[in-house]
Amino acid sequence: MVYFEKDGLVIRDLCPADVTPIVTQEQLQGVPHVRRDLYEMRLRDAAAGRCFALCAVVAGQPVGWVNLYFRAYPPYDQTNWPEILAFGVLASHRRRGIGTALLDTVERLAAERSDTVCLGVGLHSGYGAAQRLYVQRGYIPDGTGVWYAGHELQPYAPCVNDDDLNLYLTKKLR
């Protein structure tokens, strides 16, 4: 299904043919720990009706992706809020409005289910572009502090600044 189309940018459902080009491009730009199986899991979850798995396409090539899960993971698993997961735009296509279009689309889909959407963002500099974008779009920290590997990190606890170190944010949609 196509959710957005303008000026050569198409946002549609992720499909199996998108996985190899996305993984290859992420590897070429030096993203550590790229995992093909996570994209395949998102495809399965979308097919099972647990989420939307979206892909941004320019000139026939996948350049961005985002997932909206209908049931959030901790710390929001006791809410009815949808959760945005695994949002990304290839470095070569950033600052062109693709991330904004992806988030506009996924927030519109989330608003059909809830008045609030949530997400977690990594804290190292590799997430800097996403951190700035979320703040610009009105996402605010939820006040639970920093989480590591899915668990709330206690004050002064040691941690590693890797992909498992996250801050959780929410946004009112309506």
User: What does 88-119 look like in DSSP terms, one character per residue?
Assistant: EE-GGGTTSSHHHHHHHHHHHHHHTT-SEEEE
pTM of the model: 0.93
Question: What residue ranges in the chain does DSSP mark as E strands?
Answer: 2-6, 9-13, 51-58, 61-69, 83-89, 116-122, 140-148, 151-152, 165-172
| Strand 116-122 with 83-89, pairing | parallel
pLDDT at 30 (0 to 100): 81
pLDDT at 25 (0 to 100): 92
Q: What is the pLDDT of residues 131-172, one digit of tens each?
A: 999 999 999 999 999 999 999 999 999 999 999 999 999 999
Nearest to 94 by CA among 123, 120, 126, 124: 126
Written as one letter, the residue type at 18 is: D
The distance of Cα 20 from the centroid of its chain, to the nearest Å, equals: 18
Q: What is the CATH number of domain 2-172?
A: 3.40.630.30
Mean pLDDT of 113-137: 94
The distance of Cα 163 from the centroid of its chain, to the nearest Å, equals: 13
CA distances from 105 to 2, 3, 28, 46, 85 (A): 10, 7, 27, 16, 14
